[in-house]
Amino acid sequence: TANCWRRFSARVGENASEYCSYRSSLAGRLAIALPSQSHQLTDTGEEAAMQWDNLPPVFYETAVYNVNIYLSDIESEPRVVHKLKEVSDLFTAISVGDNKWVLTAPLSFLNEPGIFELSYRYKPVGMAERTDTFAFRVVSPKLDTKDDYLHILNDINREYNEIVFQYLTKTVQSLDKGGRTDNDVIWLSIFRQVIDNYIKAVTYIVTRPHLRETKEVHYSHADRIKRWTPAMAQKYAQSENRGTLDRDYFRHEATINTCDTAENRFVKFSLERISRRLAKVFDHIRSHGNEITDSELNTLDEYAIKLRKLSQSPLLRRLKAEPLRTESLVLQKRTGYSQVYRYWIMLQKGIELFNGSTQIGTRPIWELYELWCFLKMRRMVAKILSLHFGNNDEIVENPMPMIEPFTDNSQEHTVYYRKNEDEIRLHYQHTYNRTSGDVHTATTDNRPDIVLTIRKPDGFELTYLFDAKYRVCDDNEFSKEDKDEINALRAADYPPSDAINQMHRYRDAIYYGNKVENVRLHSAKEIIGGYILFPGRGDDEAVRNRYFFKSIETVNIGAFPLLPDHNDPDNEGSLLFEHLTKILVGQSAYEQIRDSIPQHGLSYARPDDLVLVGYYETAMLPTILSRRLYYVRTGNERGSINLVPGCEKAKYLLLHNGQNRMLLPLDGNGPRYFNAQTLREMGFSPTGFHYLGFSLKSDTPITTVDIADLPGGRQHTTPYFASIKELQRPHTPTKE
């Protein structure tokens, strides 16, 4: 707890000791562990209070707490009640004496800072059952969970409306009711985002409804009854003895599954209300017909027809539309119903992201932080390049896939920037796998959070990976390196070592390569740099001296602190902004790869490096690669190699066959003499007598060099030497 407090107070500042409030439905006294008293349990001094304000936090999202509720004079077993089943199932009731119970559970709030309401239901001796609640704020040592957290929510909500909210959460946020969806334009905007999924959910309900078992009482003549109970059989005998069997009615019950449930009545209620609101908005839009296209009007009309048909479906036709009056697990959990309830809430009222009294759940903070980092980089890139959103000549993106970024794991979002002749792409949740085109992995899928790709006019591409890690380690399990970093950064946050190691694994796994003869070649490492984005501000100069920042200059893998600052938004991520400026506008492509240490199998060519250009027959390519040897004919015959000064130091072999070409590294030891017989024994098919053989350092092609088209004609099979610079120049076709 002391370590959590130190990190939290470093984040929040002087307000840390008055950050939290505590609330109880039962009047009493509150004692908490005060940092000013060495975290010893201390009475707050207030008698019979129900709310205690301006106190330091006790609960942190990074720790696990053993919670015990002691109850006496209780008639029966108490229980914890919470809308999240995970929470209520955690608690165990233990009898510790006559009418005495303890409710106990280990509670973790990992990635869910906010207000936690602990409600418990019990029956005092001789009294009615009751439910009481104790509420407290769970804080994060990584960010200000009031102002900075709301800053994240606002940033996301400004771009992608309503996706930050979630019904079943462990903690909630206290926000203001905004009533923004009372505005027809905003309501229609939300309607267009959710209506397809809403209709899909209602259609699912109509075909797979929730039914309730019930009994119906009927009075029928004996010949109409198929099943008889013993009591009914006795009445039958009495009626038969009286001779009134043809006139008597017998009472009998039938068990049926009825669709007349509160949940189905709510579904019809939502359909009718949405249809009514849409009709109102539709009439308003039609009055401005000159400002809207016919296709838009037709689309809205089609939605109205679909809603009307669903309302008149066999399931809902005879039901009375009623709003939901009590909580329902069916609406919370069941497929179709939970989606209808969610979209109804989104359409019914808006929420303003400011501190207030309305309590609403939000998504786990690691999801929000990941998306916020993407949005922050999205704006940073535009600012650095002096480009503007809304101008399709400068920036192109389709925001629709971002409506539900956490429920569709296959979705991807890309922003395209155009500056001069450069094309910059910023990807969110981009997947690399064995079939993902030229840039791929050789084994399993890899999905970094953010990918920045810079394509130069000559086709040269630079790719950088960013992984947003809102990592919260167990405060009792820090490594020695982590503890040293915490102390050096004066209790500020730091990137966990394993997160940085993940970037090394990403860079090792992702290759660039084309298909040659229908074989996927893992030609070269594609990634120039990989970086962790982690929640920390710290002093820029102090961060520059840390290993995770210095490593960016040496191996182009490291970490940048990035966290919202509601007091100074323009200064958020200053070190990241500085680095993005450097790679986007400050360095040439060659300068960037020169400063990056090449990985195993990756070579960066210099303009004056000498290349042996040689033709190959398709059938011989596997032998060339497996033997790692390419031979050229010597002598004065047609097709022989013309040796040039320095050819013994040639660094590369450029193989081509008229359609495909690949650049391979030579071992640099110069050529060796081979006769025809030796080459035949190795699997080759020489037609002459004397040859020079050049050994390959690797059979992995290099793709960091963009080779221009080679000259054609009858001489294109003759080997020759050229520099990298010459091969990158445009060629004039040879006239034969």
Residue 500 has pLDDT above 90, yes or no: no
Cβ 75 vs Cβ 124: under 8 Å = yes
CA–CA dist 677, 683 (Å, integer): 10
Longest CA–CA separation in the chain, Å: 130
Reported confidence tier of residue 504, pLDDT bands at 50, 70, 90: low
> What pLDDT does 78 receive?
92
> What pLDDT does 280 receive?
81
Cβ 489 vs Cβ 538: under 8 Å = yes
> What pLDDT does 625 receive?
92
Q: How many helices (H) and strands (E) does the chain have?
A: 19, 35
Average pLDDT, integer, range 468-481: 60
* pLDDT, tens digit, 9 for 90 and up, residues 19-42: 999 999 999 999 998 888 888 888
What letters, b where the CB count within 10 A reaches 16 and e where it falls short, cover 355-379?
A: eeeeebbbbbbbbbbbbbbbbbbbe
Q: Which residues, other chains included, contact 26 with Cβ-Cβ below 8 Å and sequence gap of 6+? A: 50, 132
Cβ 102 vs Cβ 93: under 8 Å = yes
Higher pLDDT, 54 or 604: 54
The three-state DSSP-derived secondary structure of 138-185 is EEECCECCCHHHHHHHHHHHHHCCCCCECCCCCCEEEEEECCHHHCHH
Pairing verdict, β 672-675 and 20-28: unpaired
Q: Which tokens in the block code for residue 648?
A: 């013994």
> What pLDDT does 648 receive?
78
Q: Which tokens in the block code for residue 152?
A: 């994240």
Which H or E element spans position 379? helix 365-385
> What pLDDT does 230 receive?
85
Helices marked H in 511-584 — which ranges?
540-544, 547-555, 574-581
Q: Which tokens in the block code for residue 49?
A: 């209070």
> What pLDDT does 100 receive?
92
Polymer length in residues for the chain:
736
Query: Average per-residue pLDDT in the chain?
Result: 76
Q: Which tokens in the block code for residue 138?
A: 């769970």
pTM above 0.85, yes or no: no
> What pLDDT does 657 receive?
84
CA distances from 432 to 411, 414, 429, 504, 526 (A): 13, 14, 10, 15, 11
Secondary structure class of 130 (helix, strand, coil): strand
Secondary structure class of 222 (helix, strand, coil): helix
* pLDDT, tens digit, 9 for 90 and up, residues 641-653: 887 767 778 888 9
* pLDDT, tens digit, 9 for 90 and up, residues 121-163: 999 998 999 989 999 999 988 778 777 777 887 777 777 655 5
Reported confidence tier of residue 506, pLDDT bands at 50, 70, 90: low
Reported confidence tier of residue 579, pLDDT bands at 50, 70, 90: very high
Residue 690 has pLDDT above 50, yes or no: yes
| Percentage of the chain lying above the pLDDT 90 cut | 13
Which among 81, 77, 73 has a CA at the least distance from the CA of 131? 81
Higher pLDDT, 18 or 398: 18
Higher pLDDT, 711 or 78: 78
What letters, b where the CB count within 10 A reaches 16 and e where it falls short, cover 674-697?
A: bebeebeeeebebeeeebbbbbbb
Terminal C-alpha separation, the chain: 83
Cβ 462 vs Cβ 590: under 8 Å = no
Higher pLDDT, 333 or 426: 426
Ramachandran region, residue 482 (left: φ > 0; alpha: ψ -120 to 50; beta: rest): alpha
Which among 472, 345, 360 has a CA at the least distance from the CA of 115? 360
Helices marked H in 171-248 — which ranges?
184-207, 230-242
Higher pLDDT, 133 or 166: 133
* pLDDT, tens digit, 9 for 90 and up, residues 263-322: 888 888 889 888 888 888 777 767 655 545 566 677 888 889 999 898 888 888 888 888
Among all chains, which residue has been given the structure tokens 């024994």?
681
CA–CA dist 513, 521 (Å, integer): 5
* pLDDT, tens digit, 9 for 90 and up, residues 376-426: 999 999 999 999 988 888 999 876 444 444 444 455 788 999 988 889 999
Sign of CA dihedral 696, 699, 704, 706: positive
CA–CA dist 713, 735 (Å, integer): 7
| Percentage of the chain lying above the pLDDT 70 cut | 72
* pLDDT, tens digit, 9 for 90 and up, residues 341-354: 888 877 765 444 44
Higher pLDDT, 550 or 715: 550
Pairing verdict, β 450-455 and 461-468: antiparallel
> What pLDDT does 120 receive?
92
> What pLDDT does 736 receive?
35
* pLDDT, tens digit, 9 for 90 and up, residues 352-376: 444 443 444 566 777 888 888 998 9
> What pLDDT does 161 receive?
57
> What pLDDT does 164 receive?
54
Reported confidence tier of residue 624, pLDDT bands at 50, 70, 90: very high
Higher pLDDT, 68 or 284: 68
* pLDDT, tens digit, 9 for 90 and up, residues 91-109: 999 998 899 999 999 988 8
Amino acid letter, 232:
M
CB-side exposure of 671: number of CA atoms within 13 Å? 20
Ranges 56-60, 297-301, 454-458, 536-540, most confident: 56-60
What letters, b where the CB count within 10 A reaches 16 and e where it falls short, cover 581-618?
A: bebbeeeebeebbeebeeeebbbbbeeebbbbbbbbee
